[in-house]
Structure 1
Amino acid sequence: MLLSALRKLFKFLLFVLLALALLAVWGFLIEPRWVARRDIPVQVANWRGPPGLKVVVASDWHIAHEFKRVMTMARANAIVDEINAAKPDVVLLPGDFISGRGEDGTTPEDVAAVLGRLRATHGVYAVLGNHDWWTDGPRFSHALSAAGIRVLLNEAVPLPGTDVWVLGIGDRTSMQSDPVRAARQLPAGAQALTLMHDPASARALPPVPGLAVAAHTHGGQVWIPFHGSAVAPHGWPKDKTHGWVDIGGRPVYITSGLGVSIYPIRINMRPEWVMFTIGTQPGQQGPR
């Protein structure tokens, strides 16, 4: 009896250890590198931009040289190639381009050399994230700008050749966020593509019709069914870290991002870049 019970316990423990080992392989090696392309149609009431405008959102790259940090230069370059092959009209980059603070020797110029290869008909636009500011915000802005990327800090600029604007909001964690100042630069009734790093910035953003996207949360990197993210930054609700989230009465898409931070793991929360295709439906209020 005792021997039989010990054998059953041994088999059970062996099964648990095997399951944990497989989960570790999946979470540390496979899913963080299994990038999803998500295609999302968006309807904006009385859209005045080009019909079928294709807007790519790619955030939280956390680029590094070291394999253990997941987003190596080679992988980032491959993702740039995928995005370019999709022929976007606009590319929005909502921040956190570097892993950590560049402790492995990665520089803003290294990152800019990769992201500067992105191509879009109406341009590539970025806001900096907290990791970029912690590394060297002015240096990052200069490097990205020199690579042909328009870096926005609480400002609005017209999207060339269209009646749409691009609104870029600074990072909240590094005390750079001023949504009210940014929105004041828009003409009355203007429609905009709004990008921000921290979704909490949307709480102070006046009503702006169009598309609004945010980053920063990584979807928690680990998503637990019926619970939400294992973790969420700075008190953000754990069940509102990915996808369409209502913030202050407006829908904001929070992307899970491409890289990892703090811990190099993803489970049930794949990295992603998103292609939004914007059309119009008279009378419909905002993205659905």
Structure 2
Amino acid sequence: MLLLLLVLLLLAVWSVLIEPRWVAERRYDVSVPGWDGPPGLKVAVASDWHMGQSALRSVMTLDRARAIVADINAARPDVVLLPGDFISGRGEDGTTPEQVAAVLGQLKATHGVYAVLGNHDWWTNGTRYTRALEAAGVQVLQNEAQRLPGTSVWVVGIGDRTTGHSDPLQALRGVPTGARTLTFMHDPASALPLPRGSGLTVAAHTHGGQVWIPFHGSIVAPHGWPVKQTHGWVRVNRREVYITSGLGVSIYPVRFNMRPEWVMFSIKAAVRPDETAESAPPAPAS
């Protein structure tokens, strides 16, 4: 009995105090057929920050977020994609959109920093978040596409599904036929109606369940999403989508076997017909 209590105590300490703060920097090479963008384009993805004031409850304080921003900048990304949920809860602890934007506005990328809003951002004040982020130099895309400056690549941002802001087909309307894209969204379910595309598609929102049980998957998944498809490379209808585990926590300040992460993708042209983003290896859970 004493040994069991000791094991449970160690698991609690690990899950509450250590793993939620043990941020992984993952890197993947993605091969895209007919890629005509810059060779080796480096795309950093950092989602679900859930910033707040409490180091214990929200984990992701503004100071911790600044340190992660510095790490991302040190990797010298060409593009940064921020797939939403920047605030913990609804900002009840007094964290403001302007404070969050001041942190994320420090991100630097050759071709720009782009964001979509998540459900927590909309529940707090989506309009205010949009204004604050854009004032800080972050381009917010709400079901719209924008050509990456100086390239033939398009960035496609899809709005949040939970709060009724998702319109994937609208987001694609301005993209020329056959163009290579960087498509990002908060909720992976927004990828369901998307046609096949050529490029990179990423989503967030699930946190990988925050707790991942071997042979089962995550202990929870939002809105009926499959518990075995909350992290890594997942086929969503006609696309291969990378679902990131995110950086922060929500509801409970715990992570186990599902480290927080930010991801750097390096995109190159495929040299074989079967060498595509769909053949990329699944991400490890920890």
8 A Cα contact 2:145 2:175, kept in partner = yes
2: CA distance, partners of 1:206 / 1:185: 14
8 A Cα contact 1:41 1:278, kept in partner = yes
8 A Cα contact 1:28 1:265, kept in partner = yes
Aligned residue in 1 for 2:172: 183
1:40 alignment partner, one of 19, 28, 31: 28
Aligned residue in 2 for 1:67: 55
Aligned residue in 1 for 2:102: 113
8 A Cα contact 1:95 1:129, kept in partner = yes
SS at match of 1:41: strand
Structure with the larger helix share: 1
2: CA distance, partners of 1:106 / 1:286: 41
Question: Identical aligned pairs, as a percentage?
Answer: 69
SS at match of 2:192: helix
1: CA distance, partners of 2:196 / 2:216: 30
Aligned residue in 2 for 1:31: 19
2: CA distance, partners of 1:286 / 1:111: 36
Q: Write the deviation string for residues 52-82 of structure 1: whole angstroms up to 9, x where unpaired.
A: 0000000000011111210001100000000
8 A Cα contact 2:194 2:239, kept in partner = no
8 A Cα contact 1:196 1:213, kept in partner = yes
**Alignment of structure 1 residues 130-145 onto 2, 5 Å:** 130-145=119-134
1: CA distance, partners of 2:276 / 2:236: 13
Q: Write the deviation string for residues 185-208 of structure 1: whole angstroms up to 9, x where unpaired.
A: 111111110000000000011222
SS at match of 1:234: helix
Consecutive unaligned residues in structure 1, runs of 5 or more = 1-12
Alignment-mate amino acid for residue 159 of structure 1: L
Alignment-mate amino acid for residue 61 of structure 1: W
Consecutive unaligned residues in structure 2, runs of 5 or more = 281-286
SS at match of 1:144: helix
8 A Cα contact 1:183 1:206, kept in partner = no
**Alignment of structure 1 residues 84-123 onto 2, 5 Å:** 84-123=73-112
Per the normalisation by structure 2, the TM-score is 0.95
Alignment-mate amino acid for residue 55 of structure 1: V
1:55 alignment partner, one of 24, 38, 43: 43
Aligned residue in 1 for 2:199: 210
Cα distance, 1:285 vs. partner?
6.1
8 A Cα contact 1:179 1:206, kept in partner = no
2: CA distance, partners of 1:107 / 1:99: 10
Query: How large is the Cα RMSD of the aligned pairs?
Result: 0.8
SS at match of 1:204: coil
8 A Cα contact 1:167 1:194, kept in partner = yes
2: CA distance, partners of 1:99 / 1:206: 33
Alignment-mate amino acid for residue 237 of structure 1: P
Q: Write the deviation string for residues 237-257 of structure 1: whole angstroms up to 9, x where unpaired.
A: 000000000001210000000
SS at match of 1:80: helix
1: CA distance, partners of 2:2 / 2:229: 36
Cα distance, 1:280 vs. partner?
1.0
Aligned residue in 2 for 1:4: none
**Alignment of structure 1 residues 258-269 onto 2, 5 Å:** 258-269=247-258
Q: Write the deviation string for residues 257-280 of structure 1: whole angstroms up to 9, x where unpaired.
A: 000000100000000000000011
Aligned residue in 1 for 2:148: 159
Give runs of ≥4 in structure 1 deviating > 3 Å. Answer: none
Cα distance, 1:184 vs. partner?
1.4
8 A Cα contact 2:195 2:238, kept in partner = no
Q: Count how many residue pairs are aligned between Structure 1 and Structure 2.
A: 276
